[in-house]
Each structure stands twice: as C-alpha cells, then as structure tokens.
Amino acid sequence: MTDSTSTLAASAARRTGGNMNWLRHVKSAFAYALLALAAFVSIFPFFWMIVGATNTSAQISTGKASFGDQLLINIANFLDQVDVVRITINSLIIAGAGTVATLLVTSLAGYAFEIFRSKFRERIFAAMLLMLSIPFAALMIPLFVMMSRFGLINTYQAVILPTVAWIFMIFYFRQATKAFPTELRDAAKIDGLKEWQIFAYVYFPVMRSTYAAAAIIAFMQHWNNYLWPLIVLQTNDMMTVTLVVATLNSAYTPDFGVIMVSAIFATLPTLIIFFVLQRLFVQGLLGSVK
C-alpha cells in the first residue's frame, strides 16, 4: 500500500514537474529573502555602532545612519573621559587570570571525573549538574558579604575567585575527555609516568584544541562579565572595559559618540578572536552537547 501511494505520488510529481520546478524557485527565493533579512538585521547594529562612532551625540540620537566626520573627536573625548590603559589592563588581568585558573581547575576535574570513576564521584558529578542552574542572583548577596569580611572588596581576586570553578566547563572537559584515547594513558603508565605527568605531558598536548576552544569561551565570559564586577569593584581605578561602557551609558547626559567608541572598544577583542578562530569558537560552544 505504501508502495502504491508512493508510485502515485511519484507519477503525480512527474506530471506536475514543470509546476514543481516553478514552486521550488519561489521557495528558494523565499529562503534567500528570509536569510538576507536575518543577516541584515543581525549585522545592522554593528553597522550602527561603527557609523555612530563617526557622528555627534545629537546626530546619533536623531537616527543619522550615514558616516560623519566626528570619529577623531569622539575617540579624543573617549580617551579624555576614560583611563583606557588602566581599564584595559584591569580587564586583561581579570579575563586572563580568570581564564587560566578556570581552565586548570575545570580540566583537572573534568578529566578525573571521566578517567577515575567511582560511584561516589558520579554522585558528586550529578549534584554539580544540578547546581548548573542555580542563578547567580541567588549567590551574590552572601558572596558580597563574604568578600567584604575577607577584605577583598575592590580587588581582582574578588572578581576572579567565584568564577573559577565554572561547572559548565567541568562538564565540557568531561565530555571532551571521552574522546581521549585510553591507549595513550596505558602506554604512558607502562613508561612509568605518574598521573599528574600523564595529565601535563600527554593529555594537555593531545587535547590542545579542546583547551583552545574552552579558552575562547572562558575569556569571553570573563571579559564580558558585568553583574559581579559591578558589585565588587567600586573605585574608578579598578573599572573594567565592560563596566565603563555601562557607566558612560547611564550618565545623566550621555555622549552617544563616546558610547559608540567604547562599545567598539569592548567588542573588538571578542570580534577579532571570533574571526581568527571561528572553527574553534563554534566547537567550544557545541563541545558540551556532543
């Protein structure tokens, strides 16, 4: 019966071949139009950001969408209002140290959860997965009180420490470790390597693309972090790039030209990373669901 219907359908398709072709053209035209619209909408804010940086604040707030001649003035104002070197160093220290610490701690844990299995550790892992969905808002008040008791308010450590044991990353590394060939570990063991040596000299080099992808995601996360730095960083000399963008934006009389320059400045590092390492970037995103 299925056969007869399929033959029927096939012959119907043959009969209306010309029609179907025409329909297919319409459909693919529709797909292109849809994708073009989506691409336009996706790219437009970037265009707006770059155009805005070349216009005056008044022109931006009245919707001028063509290039102007204010770029240098806006950059000069930005450099004038913001200690760019300082905030860049702050952001780089926080994102850099945060990324290295996150990768070290979470890869050790992810590796061990997969390689050294025990019933009890499986339970811990399951409990950690449950914690994955605890919202940060539920932690921030005790964390803030804790940091002020330790006298760590307004320090790099206060920003970095709570973000190091990122459970998502532990999960990511465990998933990635499933692809790590056990023969390599066995061979290294026969050669008399200790467990930490196997991790450092065999696992790490073999998994470098996993590490690179994780580094990209972690760096972005730390670079763009807003809520927690907003709470623990309090003086101007400790501000990060992200915090400065927000501060400029919430000014009583915001200078949109300067804001656009600051937004470009905040987006540029991640944009460059994305274009240079696009493949790794996507791999990092997908790694945890494979």
User: Using CA atoms, how far apart are residues 57 and 65, in angstroms rounded to an integer?
Assistant: 13
Under rule CB under 8 A, residue 250 binds another protein? yes
DSSP secondary structure letters along 204-243: HHHTHHHHHHHHHHHHHHHHH--HHHHHH--SGGG--HHH
User: What is the x/- site pattern for another protein, positions 198-217, by CB under 8 A?
Assistant: -x------------------
Contact at 8 Å (CB) between 104 and 196? Answer: no
Contact at 8 Å (CB) between 210 and 277? Answer: no
Under rule CB under 8 A, residue 92 binds another protein? no
- What is the footprint of another protein within residues 132-171 (CB under 8 A)? 133-146, 148, 161-162, 164-165, 167, 170
Binding test (CB under 8 A) with another protein, winner from 99, 106, 177, 210: 106
Q: Which is nearer to another protein, 211 or 223 (CB)?
A: 223
Under rule CB under 8 A, residue 223 binds another protein? yes
Work out the number of other CB atoms within 10 angstroms of the CB of residue 119. Answer: 6
Contact at 8 Å (CB) between 55 and 64? Answer: yes
Under rule CB under 8 A, residue 13 binds another protein? yes
Give every CB contact of residue 195 below 8 A, 6+ residues apart in sequence.
none
Task: Kindly state the smallest distance separating residue 76's Cβ from another protein, in Å.
Answer: 20
- What is the footprint of another protein within residues 57-86 (CB under 8 A)? 60-65
Under rule CB under 8 A, residue 48 binds another protein? yes
Under rule CB under 8 A, residue 43 binds another protein? yes
